[in-house]
Each structure stands twice: as structure tokens, then as C-alpha cells.
Structure 1
Amino acid sequence: MDRNAFIESLTKEGFPDAVVVTREANVEMEIHEHPFEAKALILEGEMSIRMDDEVRAYRVGDVFNLPANKPHAERFGPNGVTYLVGRKQSGAA
């Protein structure tokens, strides 16, 4: 997906303005969770996300979506990763 189409999809899905995030090479973030839903487009580099027993790799042009409060681990590729991400707070239960 290209950047403009991604930003348009975020707007349609009610995400606030997206931000660019850069992570260092070969770093792994152990299992954690976020209080927001995240939808991101990989701009440079690559990363892997492990949720439950599944690991998925994401490269330039790929989009990933993480539900709010979903435990996951992240690993950034040998050249790090830069992604454009929208974050939407989960509703209070």
C-alpha cells in the first residue's frame, strides 16, 4: 500500500493523525500490550510481530493492525524499521 492510500484508510477508520516511528536494528521488545489499537504502514526496513503462537514478518509496503490490549512481541530487522502509525484509543468498557 502507498502512503497516501494508507493515510486515507486511517481517516476513514477514525484514526487520529498518524506519526512516523523509527526503531533501531536488531532490537526485540518482549511481550507487552498497548491501550490503543495500532494500524501501521512499513516505510523502511522490516519487523516481525508475534501474537499468540504466530509470527508474521512485515516489509516495506506492508500494513499491520494490532488490537488494543493484545499481548504481542516485536522484533526489528537488521536495518531497523520505520513505520507510519495511527493509534486509536480503545473505548472504556
Structure 2
Amino acid sequence: MSLPTFQQFEVDALAKGFDEVAPRVWDAAQTVDLHTHPFSVEALVVQGEMWLKVGDDTRHLLAGDTFALEYGTPHSERYGIEGATYWAARRHAVA
């Protein structure tokens, strides 16, 4: 499977109405406890592996996998022994 370049991911995300696109790099075996974000996100995992838990559902994500979360969705994250990198397209809530 061929992944897009970051530039292409960014262009596509901005065209879909996202207002921020950023690479996110996580350390090996890092965990992030239950939390929420003030934005919606669509992301593409480009390196490593991670586990994303939303409610009772846990997804194991590898390079090439995508995930999406709506604004304010409680979730937790765990990263693999080599860490992980994903590209995140964010759409911030409008007040």
C-alpha cells in the first residue's frame, strides 16, 4: 500500500474543511489516559502502531490505518514498542 505524502494529506484535509493539519509523533510504549479534544479529527497512521480505545471498543492501528473522532469524544491511546506517528487533520469547534 502506498501512503500519500504529508503535503497531499494536508491539501486533501484542508479541501474537506479541516482547519489544521499536523504530524503527531509518540514515544515508544507511551500511554495517554482517558481524555477529550476541543476538535474533531481524522488521522492516518504512517509509522509504528497504536491502540485507540473509545468506550468498550479498542482498535489496533498500523501504518496505513485511519481513525476519526468527533469533538469531545472520550478516548485513550497506547503506543507500541517503537512508538507511532500519525498525521492529524483537525476541525476546531466554532463558538
- Sort the TM-score into its range (normalised by shorter chain): 0.7 to 0.9
Percentage identity across paired residues of the two chains: 32
Describe the SS at the equivalent of 1:47. strand
In 1, the alpha carbon distance for the partners of 2:25 and 2:35 equals 18
Q: Does 1:3 align with 2:4?
A: yes
Structure 1 residue 17: Cα displacement: 4.1
Aligned partner of 2:90 in structure 1 is 87
TM-score (structure 2 length as normaliser): 0.85
Q: Give the number of equivalent residue pairs.
A: 92
Residues 49-91 of structure 1 show CA distances to partners (whole Å, capped at 9, x for unaligned) of 1001000011001111011100000001110001111111123
Structure 1 spans left out of the alignment, 5+ residues: none
Query: RMSD of aligned C-alpha atoms?
Result: 1.7
TM-score (structure 1 length as normaliser): 0.87
Aligned partner of 1:66 in structure 2 is 69
